[in-house]
Structure 1
Amino acid sequence: MQNYDGQDDLADLTPELVPMFPGAGPFLARFLPYSPPTHAGLNQNFCDLHAFLKYLHEAAWYGYLHASLGDQAAYVLLFEGRTVTAAAASATGEQALGELLNLYEQGAALSAHPLPAVLAHVLSGIGNRAWKFNLTEDFTGLHARPTGAIFYARGEIVATLPATLPYEGAFPAPLRPQTLILPRSLAGWAHHQYTLTLRGKDSMNAITGMYQQFRTQHGLAGIAFLRALGERLTPAEYAMRSDVALHDLEPLVQEFIKTGCVREGG
């Protein structure tokens, strides 16, 4: 261990991270730090991506996914197991998440790289543009400069990274990163409205036998979701408001339709 003889240099104590994708174009990819993958070489022939995302969600996993096929690539950051920001060559956010899924379905190899929770939080604010940097005592996010990047958590420097922007800017992290929802083109069911049938209404009425049967099968969470559909929320809107993973709702919607509790449209 290095002996500072009482003259601790804080700059020397701050970890300098190594870029995972040096020279990458998308902002998110440019500032992702090196991390050995916990999973590498995944492909659709032996790994269902939605099942893998569900596994990461249940593990409250922090890190990023990288999918590449030829000269195409997509990057998705996970926070608490939730997809919170994404980037591809010409897209960010939900469209870039859709691009990762498209690449995977076309045969792309996927890898998963873990990160400490604090770094995942800092990176969660990276989108398609940088903002004016204003260091406040509680600033959490990335400060990008022509000379390198600084990771801040609650106003404190937690790491640096030799990746740059041609100008100075900031990517503030949200207090609680929101979950990305798949675009309509890939998850049309999630953006539809559903109408409760008489059976669905009985399933929410505590004095009916149908209610007890429904609650035993789906629990209070299922009742809350069914009620939200009855209030004309789409599954995507409910997932955003309730911080529920969208892939957990798809089998419920299918079950509700199959058992005659809801029908599409209305």
Structure 2
Amino acid sequence: MAELIPELTPMFPGASPFLARFLPHSPPTYAGLNESFCDLHAFLKYLHEHSWYGYLYAVLGDQTAYVLLFEGRTVTAAAASATGEQALGELLNLYEQGASLSAHPLSPAYAHVLSGIGSRAWKFNLTEDFTGLHARPTGAIFYVRGEIVATLPATLPYEGAFPAPLRPQTLILPRSLAGWAHHHYNLTLRGRDGMNAITDVYQVFRSEYGAPGIAFLRALGEKLTPAEYAMRSDAALHDLEPMVHSFLKTGYIREV
């Protein structure tokens, strides 16, 4: 029944980035976070470990950036003139420059609906399993598997849809901010021994890094970059970075 469908309130009415425009009002769980006392990478790791759903909002003067999290993973982002990975990088840059950051929780369903919002809207085609946002000049509708779950009085000047992916992909930091993640690495002789179960090196490697380390080392040996491996395995870059540094330091890999 229509009266049971909640009408949400926009958090940022009139915002120009599409993602910001359709974010519903949500009191922050965390507010006033700042580089001077909160390491953002540690905070993102904390949200990832707790499978947090919601959005981050960074503001510095008249500059803003917005990042949506699903299962604790950054899945879409927007800033004044960027979306996706570049906008995620923009939020990190603003934070480093002294921006104030807040974190606003959402239900898993709403976070999923919003996860498909990028730089363009698509032709709307309501199917029985459509999950995503339908934007119209009269307002927006949140759909989950073909059912209306909420409305929001925020608009586009034309009709369009933002279909949500079945399982939202994790955003990977751009090369300018995480160059190490986009490099290729060769296994050294020691690294190859680290994957060979009959060697002593393997026993040492396994005791230190476990099965996740072996899987990651094998992927590097198969010429995947850490960023590509993170996308395929759903691993978090902040978990892979210390392993890459450790592998380099202990002589298992070298940069190509």
1:33 to 24, 37, 40: 24
Render the CA deviation track for 1:118-177: whole Å, top value 9, x for unaligned.
Answer: 000000000000000000000000000000000000000000000000000000000000
Q: Distance in 1 between matches of 2:56 and 2:176?
A: 21
Matched, 1:103 2:107: no
Query: Partners of 1:202 and 1:47 in 2: how far apart?
Result: 40
Q: 1:143 aligns with which of 134, 138, 153?
A: 134
- Give the drift of 1:216: 1.0
Q: How does 1:119-158 map to 2 (within 5 A)?
A: 119-158=110-149
Structure 2 residue corresponding to 1:196, chosen from 161, 172, 187? 187
Shift of 1:233: 0.5
Q: Deviations over 1:205-260 (max 9, x none)?
A: 00011111111111101000001001110000000011111111000000000001
SS in 2 for 1:78: strand
Residue 208 of structure 2: aligned partner: 217
Deviations 1:86-105 (A, max 9, x none): 00000000000000000000
SS at match of 1:142: strand
Look up the match of 1:22. Answer: 13
Q: Please report the TM-score for the alignment, with normalisation by the length of structure 1.
A: 0.96
Secondary structure of 2:242's aligned partner: helix
Match of 1:240 in 2: 231
Of all paired residues, the percent bearing the same amino acid is 84
Measure how far apart 1:57 and its partner are: 0.3
CA drift of 1:11 comes to 1.5
- What SS does the corresponding residue of 1:74 show, helix, strand or coil? strand
Paired position in structure 2 for 1:183: 174
What SS does structure 1 have at the residue aligned with 2:134?
strand
Match among 145, 159, 170 for residue 161 of structure 2: 170
Task: Tell me by how many angstroms 1:13 deviates.
Answer: 0.5
Give, in whole Å, the separation in 1 of the partners of 2:203 and 2:43: 33
CA distance in structure 2 between the partners assigned to 1:195 and 1:74 by the alignment: 37
User: C-alpha separation between the residues in 2 aligned to 1:246 and 1:94?
Assistant: 13
Structure with higher Rg: it is 1
**Structure 1 runs, 4 residues or longer, greater than 6 Å off:** none
| Matched position secondary structure for 1:25 | coil
Query: Which one of 57, 76, 85 corresponds to residue 85 of structure 1?
Result: 76
- Give the structure 2 partner of residue 229 of structure 1: 220
Distance 2:15 2:127 in 1: 29
Query: What's the TM-score, normalizing by structure 2?
Result: 0.99
Q: State the distance in 2 between where 1:160 and 1:167 align.
A: 17
Candidates 36, 58, 63, aligned match of 2:54? 63
Measure, in 1, the Cα distance between the counterparts of 2:26 and 2:108: 13
Distance of 2:83 and 2:25 partners within structure 1:
21
Is 1:117 matched with 2:108? yes
**Paired letter, 1:258:** K
**Structure 2, gaps ≥5 residues long:** none
